[in-house]
Amino acid sequence: QVQLVESGGGSVQAGGSLRLSCAASGYNYDRYYMGWFRQAPGKEREGVAVIYPGTRSTFYDDSVKGRFTISLDNAKNTLYLQMNNVKPEDSALYFCATVTHPIPLSTLLRASAYNSWGQGTQVTVSS
């Protein structure tokens, strides 16, 4: 059974940094895309960054390119999202997700393509 547990959220001032963690267990995560998504109040859940563990290929939404970095530590079975130069518009509930079957590249940043989710961790950026 897939289990994803996020941590590391909190409050930070604009321009600061934060690192989110997602502990993965219960499946062979090395074979499937893993990603970070976020959802602000009144908005749809959106893709932030995705990684394919087998090749370490990464994909980012344009709004976070150059500021956020997704990475994976195999020894710890943990997915990370390093958030630098954060902005107030980055405030949201951040989710870790994975999909346990192949999906088209065109859907990598679509929340609807993923079938397993963590409980989320809140990030609040103040100006």
Closest C-alpha to 83, from 38, 30, 116 = 38
> pLDDT digit string (tens) for 10-24?
999 999 999 999 999
Q: What is the structure's pLDDT at 35?
A: 97
* Coil, strand or helix at 45: coil
Q: Is the pLDDT of residue 30 over 80?
A: no
Q: What is the structure's pLDDT at 28?
A: 79
> pLDDT digit string (tens) for 65-119?
999 999 999 889 999 999 999 999 999 999 999 999 999 999 999 999 999 999 9
